[in-house]
């Protein structure tokens, strides 16, 4: 999920790294910048939580139950809830999944 959140160009220097293709000292390392969030960055989970909540709030008027399920029962991309019947789970689960899949978290942050 982290890789689905794209970074603004002005923020990409925060995730810059150097790479050497060979060990020869006469060649300088190449410089790269990540274009999306990465695993292991301390900000990645909180950024993804913010983005998934923002997406849910943007669709709250058209999908209130799915938006509430995303905001209240998700941690990053894990959904935790329980239902008495399969029908109840399907009634909540399908719109929630569709809302998450529709966004693909392509918001820039």
Which residues does the chain have with pLDDT short of 70? Answer: 104-109
H or E element that contains 96: helix 86-103
pTM for the full predicted model = 0.70
Model pLDDT, residue 106: 41
Model pLDDT, residue 94: 86
Model pLDDT, residue 107: 38
d(CA 107, CA 51): 7
């Amino acid at each position: 999920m982290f890789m689905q959140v794209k970074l603004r160009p002005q923020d990409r220097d925060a995730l810059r790294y150097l790479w050497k293709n060979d060990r020869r000292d006469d060649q300088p390392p190449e410089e790269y910048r990540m274009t999306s969030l990465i695993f292991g960055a301390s900000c990645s989970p909180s950024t993804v939580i913010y983005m998934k909540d923002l997406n849910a709030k943007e669709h709250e008027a058209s999908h209130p139950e799915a938006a509430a399920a995303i905001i209240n029962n998700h941690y990053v991309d894990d959904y935790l809830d329980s239902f008495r019947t399969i029908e109840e789970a399907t009634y909540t689960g399908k719109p929630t999944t569709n809302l998450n899949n529709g966004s693909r978290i392509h918001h820039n942050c």
